[in-house]
Amino acid sequence: MNAPKINWKKILIKNAPFIIAFIVIMIFFRVILLLSIVPSGSMEPTIKGGSVVLFNRLSYIDSKPQRGDVVVFYHKESNKLMVKRVVGTEGDIIDIHDGVVFVNGENELLPGTGATQSNSESFTVPDGHVFLLGDNRDASRDARFWENPYVSVEDIKGEWIE
């Protein structure tokens, strides 16, 4: 008994709208948007732990991250994607004293809760890098604790879409 012959051309033509839609959606999420889960409370109250958030992959094609941006980036030390806020950009001097963050000598005034746990430290952000902290300073493993406290701009994958 012969198996019925499958007419692939007819199947493809019949399902073309679905196939095209699937390809467009895949391109959209691989090139333009990044969907990510913020697993911890390190960005609260700005982003709740467990939230699914979108990031614009095209934000930094022709510009650099700015102080205050919330970004998703690849963290080499932990080998995973993380979400943090840009507190310092290249050339900035970040000083942490008595739980307060100063950027270039002025109180940071970016969203952040809790005292910033750190020994009195000073960080000078090198060219092509940023200094990142979580908004929930009491519950964030961020630049204050990393072996290399600076993240290359090239490792930033996108900017948070509020």
Catalytic residues: 42
Residue ranges of the alpha helices (H) in the chain? 8-14, 16-27
Buried b (16+ CB within 10 A) or exposed e, 104-125: eeeebeeebeeebebeeeebeb
Contact 29, 22 (CB under 8 A): no
